[in-house]
Amino acid sequence: MIAHTPTIFASVALVATIMAFCLILVGQFNLRDGLLTSGCGLLAHALAYVCYTLYGQAPLWLTYGVANTLLAVALAFYSIGIFRIRVLPVPWLHILSLPALMLLSMALLIDTREPRMLAASAVLVMQCLLIIHWARQHALPGGRAHLLLIIGASISLLGLLVRVAAILSGTASEMQYDVSNLKQTISVSLGTVTVMMLSLGLVLLSKERSESTLQRMALRDALTGILNRRAILEQFSGELERARRAHATLAIAMIDIDHFKQINDLYGHLAGDEVLCHCVSHLQQRLRESDTIGRYGGEEFFLLLPDTGTTGAMTALDDLRQSLTESPAQFGDLSIGLSFSAGIWCGVPGPEDSIASLIAQADAALYAAKAGGRNTLRLAQTAQKTPGVVPHGELGTLG
């Protein structure tokens, strides 16, 4: 079916204008979600197609030169939107150089036909390829919005390639904006799909970013950035089941910063916050990639050490303890000395072992360490003898 080309242009312009109005209206209240940028892109897209509808009735510099420059600007806005939504530095030079190249090409080649058509198509092809590349490169883990961006840019690329093929085959006159034929109908109609796919993709990318941020906030401690109590216990649950199935050793440790209340009383709560962040940073730098630390509450931290026997756990915790005592926290001109006490449970989890029971054992060992003078480690009693684990009834101490 052959459609009237100017009518298709007008339809695309109408769709783009409506979507631009919606995104600009919503996006102005939050400049960091990228929707305002996407809306500006849709507005430029709509203006470009308005200019196309006037082809043959208005000057060529307006209906072709300005129109294609506006389309290049629209694709540039879509590219900027990807980076804004993902809160990444915008590669301004790469993005803005292509609309500038389009403007220059149109100014120099406006009085030709095939050269200006090829130049305009080449710039737009490069922009579509960049959108596809950036959408894939900056996709959110587990997200699907980038697929819409890739599909939308690919559809636009297909329409441009139809136009390029016609120009190279010597039938450029069939692709003028006031001509209606099957090739033109296919090429221009794809523009409608492109507008819808790119705008919807950017909106969903913004939604995915917001959901990811909220999920991170729900699982991370606001002060230190490590897993909060809920998240570390969920991870502990998974590791406990894995160790139980594989009959593997598992070590956990409850860590408490010594005399933290005194630090708050002497230096203030801001100093206390700095001490907590310093401790977390110090410990994280010295843990294995497989180990996980979470904030259990206040100045208490929970450490998860998969596939770790008693000797390894005690050695690792004692190294952490000694290194922290040698690395005081800095708060302004103050140097605040630190130490911690820890209670450790280690063994092969049995059917009777639960999250609550193992934490209770590690917590009891922690209180024994604090009662024994602090800046020390205590190994909890274990219900069974396992390789590298202290036999039942024996209490291990380091400090």
User: What's 346's domain CATH number?
Assistant: 3.30.70.270
C-alpha angle with apex 128: 18 to 130, nearest 5 degrees? 120
What does 50-97 look like in DSSP terms, one character per residue? Answer: HHHHTBTTB-HIIIIIIHHHHHHHHHHHHHHHHHHHTT----HHHHHH
The sign of the CA dihedral 93, 96, 101, 103 is negative
CA 93 to CA 366: how far, in whole Å? 57
At residue 399, the pLDDT reads 44
Q: For the chain, what is the mean pLDDT?
A: 88
Lowest mean pLDDT among 156-170, 174-188, 196-210: 174-188
CA 308 to CA 148: how far, in whole Å? 45
CA 219 to CA 235: how far, in whole Å? 11
Residue 111 belongs to some domain of the structure: yes
Residue 388 belongs to some domain of the structure: yes
Band (10; pLDDT cuts 50, 70, 90): confident
Instruction: Give strand ranges (E) for the chain.
Output: 250-257, 292-297, 300-306, 329-331, 334-336, 340-347, 377-379, 396-398
Q: Report the pLDDT averaged over residues 215-230.
A: 88
Band (390; pLDDT cuts 50, 70, 90): very low
Residue 223 belongs to some domain of the structure: no
pLDDT at 147 over 60: yes
At residue 1, the pLDDT reads 65
pLDDT at 221 over 50: yes
Among residues 192, 216, 240, the one where a domain terminates is 216
Residue 27 belongs to some domain of the structure: yes
What share of the chain has pLDDT > 90, as a percent? 61
Neighbours of 287 (CB within 10 A): 15
Number of domains in the chain: 2
Same domain, 263 and 377: yes
List the CATH number of the domain containing 100.
Answer: 1.20.1070
Band (245; pLDDT cuts 50, 70, 90): very high
Same domain, 137 and 269: no
pLDDT at 185 over 80: no
Query: How does pLDDT run across 90-140, given as a tens digit for each residue?
Result: 999 999 999 999 999 999 999 999 999 999 999 999 999 999 999 999 988
Residue 258 belongs to some domain of the structure: yes
Candidates 203, 202, 227; CA nearest to 215 is 227
Candidates 234, 199, 242, 202; CA nearest to 215 is 234
Among residues 161, 183, 216, the one where a domain terminates is 216
Same domain, 43 and 109: yes
Query: How does pLDDT run across 319-367, given as a tens digit for each residue?
Result: 999 999 999 999 988 999 999 999 999 999 988 899 999 999 999 999 9
Same domain, 207 and 257: no
Same domain, 57 and 177: yes
Residue 224 belongs to some domain of the structure: no
Same domain, 72 and 203: yes
Same domain, 203 and 234: no
At residue 236, the pLDDT reads 95
Same domain, 234 and 261: yes
Same domain, 210 and 137: yes
Same domain, 77 and 13: yes
Among residues 191, 216, 241, the one where a domain terminates is 216
Same domain, 205 and 233: no
Helices (H) and strands (E) in the chain, counts: 13, 8
pLDDT at 25 over 60: yes
Same domain, 91 and 201: yes
Domain that holds residue 389: 229-398
pLDDT at 396 over 50: no
Residue 222 belongs to some domain of the structure: no
Residue 221 belongs to some domain of the structure: no
CA 109 to CA 9: how far, in whole Å? 23
Higher pLDDT, 18 or 95: 95
What share of the chain has pLDDT > 70, as a percent? 94
Question: What pTM was estimated for this model as a whole?
Answer: 0.69
Higher pLDDT, 335 or 192: 335
Band (394; pLDDT cuts 50, 70, 90): very low
